[in-house]
Chains A and B, each alone.
Chain A
Amino acid sequence: MGFTKKKEMIAMLLAGGQGSRLGVLTNSVAKPAVPFGGKYRIIDFPLSNCVNSGIDTVGVLTQYQPLELNNYIGSGQPWDLDRLYGGISILPPYVHGKVGEWYKGTANAIYQNMNFVEMYNPEYVLILSGDHIYKMNYKMMLDYHRAKNADCTIAVLQVPIEEASRFGVMNTDDQMRIYEFEEKPPEPKSNLASMGVYIFTWDKLREYLIKDEENPNSSNDFGKDVIPAMLNDQKNLYAYEFKGYWKDVGTVESLWEANMDMINPNVPINLNDPPWKIYSRNGNLPPQFVNGNAVLKNSFITEGCTICGTVENSIIFPGVTVEEGAVISNSIIMPDCVIGQGAAVEYSIVASAVKIGKNAEVGYNKKPLKAGEHQPITVVGQKLSIAEGTVVPAGAVVSESITAEAGETEE
């Protein structure tokens, strides 16, 4: 059918996870669509990395709560992924013949879309996930993959050895060839943690996906099944060391921390990087307005905001109104929230379109804190309202609106 171009490498982005550890933040959106860093969503990072690395064909595998994510991705135009050949494709599970099933695991998701991959006849396939914050040139990783004549290259990051047991750990020889992969080992032998970024030579991956699917005992997961099977067969698996900022944002605490990293000048990630921009869908909002009583310190604030209160060490997303006398500190306020007069919000993540009433206190803490420790993060779910004067204790997770009568009080 007409002209088709062979692609050297296409990307498959696994965006179907529920992200259950983010609790109320992912009640109605898939994790990759969770807002991040002031005007982005988590998925903007892998998508922008792809485009900036010259990858123009991306399949996004969706399954859990895809509506908002689909709508956000649209034609792919904000990432320059509306292309004649390739571009972005959303790949939900579908029925083939009389059968059809959900994606059983990460490997099965790719298996079910083998026909999509074959349409582009690629040499290599890049597997990404939608829950990490980092800026990475996948082109350099591909060069490494080719130089090593690898069947699979796994991006790794050096982590402190005491934290390595939280990750998938690669044990390599001095040529970086992987001889063993351990998922969350209690006693790690190395400090090379997998970043969840893989490049496979497509022929090899296809072979192993088919084998894996035939194995009824497999959980159809890359880390648990496919990679161990390849190691077992003495295939060429190499670790590619990435030196730079990378963070998994799978939990409330890590999501908060990663956001705070964006405004911390000592953290080695700079979003203001014209040759490596992070693209996002833009809401056509007016520039922000800061009135005469605002006090601003070390914060990220973006379009459509009206700031009349105090904002410290915080990230304010588009369209937020902070009324007079309100004080926001060490918090993340997602799009379209209204923080009422005199309200206080500290160490909190407030999801989009939340209304916080006058003089309410969100993240109220009375427990003494140890040095270097911060109070637990309070989370307020999407589209809720919190009545005037309510006190929400630190660490609470608010999943229903708080009305004046049922106002939560101090414990």
Chain B
Amino acid sequence: MNTLGLIFSYTHRENLRELTKPRTLASLPIAGKYRIIDVLLSNFVNSSITDVSIITKSNYHSLMDHVGAGKEWDLTRKNGGLRVLTPYASPQMSVNSSMYRGDVEALATNMHSIRRSMAEYVVISGSGTLYSMDFNHVIQSHIDRHADITVVYTRSMNGSKIVPSGVVVFQMDEHERIYDLKYNTDDTSPQEVAWGIGVIIIKKSLLESLVADAMSYQEYDFYEGILKRLAGTLNILGYEYKGYLMEISSVTDYMKANLKLLEKDMRDKFFEHPIYTKIKDSVPVMYCEGCQVVNSILADGCRIEGTVENSIISRGVRIGRGAVVKNSIVMQNTEIMQNVVLDHVILDKDVIVRENRQLVGHETYPVVVEKLSIV
């Protein structure tokens, strides 16, 4: 199937504090050696979709630096391949608001590039929810059921009925036809609803005309301005996703999603298909005399002399003698010196924690240390 992948590198519903200050959501590190974009791109590559564009809005330099020409994802191609669509000022752009007023405007601005693709179908993915999916099945179901638009939804996140705040909740009839939707605001109580994981399948020609149409009505929100407004006229169908999900829209969710990988079941699902990432040629992890490592994930290039428990340690991290790192996420090239104690902490890249410092957060409110800080 000739398909174009479109990834939104950001989401309007995230609250990741210091973590997304230096970077767009899609380049946030996850699972030790990956970035969110790796999981998304790998979904496309594993589904044999090799024409993928990433729509960016702001602070996308770290994303560009990471994906480069797309070599590591096998997306350096003569036909298709990887493209990063960066925003630029155009005469039609509003002067009084931020870059894009919504996903529709982002699509409209980048339509010149989308239009050029030879693809027949477009698979749109967000960055706030991670999943593992063979898009060919959804496209096949889209064709078989004569859908105009197929929206992927789920009824539970890894068995939990809690619905993240800001996601779209759908009202469907017994044939999975969507007739209404709303944005979820309740993320505390369990709900028996179908909610969107940010994946949409549509014919490219239809996308082009719907975006142009919505722009002329000044409707900038894809869900409200296209799906809800046209629910009566278009055949908009749901497609249920039953695999694992990782929700990355807040700091606590981010922490939970990472630590969930310490469970074998989740790890097996997450790593079932290859996830490609930028190769750093780091050395193997050196476990020194006197180190103690319990129930943790570690990426290459680390040097461990202290204690690590229930944590995710990225590439090139050094943990000194006597240091104790518990329930924490430590990003690339961070140095934790001797006798430091960390519990429920997220250390961003290139942080230095000096001797004897102690940082303790809580499951409900992890301490976040910004990139390049020295504690």
Contacts and interface: CB of A to CB of B under 8 A. Distances in A.
A binds B: yes
Interface of A: 37-39, 77-78, 263, 271-272, 277-280, 282, 284, 286-292, 294, 296-303, 311, 315-316
A39 B284 contact: yes
A288 B289 CA distance: 19
Nearest to B290: A297
A373 B282 CA distance: 33
Nearest to B267: A289
Given A287-B300, A298-B289, A278 B281 contact: yes
Contact of A282 (B270, B279, B284, B293): B279
A288 B275 contact: no
Nearest to B282: A272
A299 B289 CA distance: 9
Contacts of A288: 285, 297-299
Contacts of B329: none
Interface in B237-286: 262, 267, 270-271, 274-277, 279, 281-286
Given A284-B276, A300-B284, A290 B293 contact: yes
Contacts of B32: 286-287
Main secondary structure of the interface of B (DSSP, over half): loop
B286 A263 contact: yes
Nearest to B262: A289
Interface centre among B262, B271, B287, B303, by most chain A C-beta atoms within 10 angstroms, is B287
B299 A303 contact: yes
Contacts of A271: 283
B71 interface: yes
B285 A272 contact: no
B295 A78 contact: no
A299 B287 contact: yes
Contacts of B301: 272
Interface residues of B, number: 37
A200 B275 CA distance: 45
A36 to B, nearest CB: 11
The 10 closest A-B pairs by CB, nearest first: A38-B284, A287-B32, A302-B284, A296-B287, A287-B299, A300-B284, A286-B271, A290-B293, A271-B283, A272-B283
Contacts of B295: 290-292
A284 B277 CA distance: 7
B310 to A, nearest CB: 9
Nearest to B276: A284
B293 A296 contact: yes
B288 interface: yes
Contacts of A296: 287, 291-293, 304
B300 A286 contact: no
B294 interface: yes
30 contacts: A39-B283, A77-B71, A78-B281, A272-B283, A272-B303, A282-B281, A284-B276, A286-B32, A286-B33, A286-B267, A286-B270, A287-B298, A287-B300, A288-B285, A289-B296, A290-B308, A291-B294, A294-B293, A294-B294, A296-B291, A296-B293, A296-B304, A297-B287, A297-B289, A300-B283, A300-B284, A302-B284, A302-B285, A302-B300, A303-B300
Interface centre among B262, B270, B275, B298, by most chain A C-beta atoms within 10 angstroms, is B298
Contacts of A282: 279, 281
B31 interface: yes
B285 A300 contact: yes
B275 A286 contact: yes
A290 B297 CA distance: 6
Given A277-B281, A284-B274, 14 more contacts: A272-B283, A282-B279, A284-B275, A284-B276, A286-B32, A289-B267, A290-B308, A291-B294, A292-B295, A294-B294, A297-B289, A297-B291, A303-B33, A311-B287
A133 B275 CA distance: 31
Contact of A78 (B31, B274, B279, B286): B279
Contacts of A289: 262, 267, 296-297
Contacts of A78: 279, 281
Given A287-B33, A289-B296, A290-B298, A300 B274 contact: no
A301 B281 contact: no
